[in-house]
Amino acid sequence: MSDLPVLDARAAFIDVGSEQMYVSIAGGPPAVFGTVAAQLHALRDWLLAHEVHSVAIEATRVYWLPLYGVLEASGLEAVMVNGRQTKNLPERLCAAGPYSRLAGLYAPTCWPHSVGS
């Protein structure tokens, strides 16, 4: 599997599920957070501690809504990405999951904003 370049070292990718969120910064190993309010705030604090400025969020259903509100309120640029677009990326899957590879590919200018543009 070839290594893809990191487009923005201060960008993160979050794969949102009903019970867990997988977060990767610049293609690094994912961190796992829960979905309750305290965990959303811990996730936000973790992103800010790592000086992240923008976040791409992939989610099905409405699980992303509380997270989006927390991130936007803290000044982070949060954008939704279309899961159909991300699943068609070459070599999407890796040992750590899709989130680490997609975090390295994410840059605010490369993904169309679906929310907050």
| 69-104 confidence digits (pLDDT tens) | 999 999 999 988 876 655 555 544 433 444 444 444
Residue 44 to residue 90: CA distance in whole angstroms: 29
108-114 mean pLDDT: 46
The full set of domain ranges for the chain reads 11-105
CATH fit for domain 11-105, picks 3.40.350.10, 3.90.1150.10, 3.40.718.10, 3.30.1450.10: 3.40.350.10
Side-chain half-sphere exposure of 115, counting CA atoms within 13 A? 21
Q: What is the structure's pLDDT at 26?
A: 83
Residue 75 to residue 69: CA distance in whole angstroms: 10
**pTM beyond cutoff 0.75:** no
Q: What is the structure's pLDDT at 96?
A: 40
Residue 109 to residue 112: CA distance in whole angstroms: 8
Question: Which DSSP string do the residues of 26-67 spell out, in sequence order?
Answer: TT---EEEESSHHHHHHHHHHHHHTT--EEEEEESTTTHHHH
Least confident piece of the model among 13-22, 41-50, 100-109: 100-109
Residue 117 to residue 43: CA distance in whole angstroms: 22
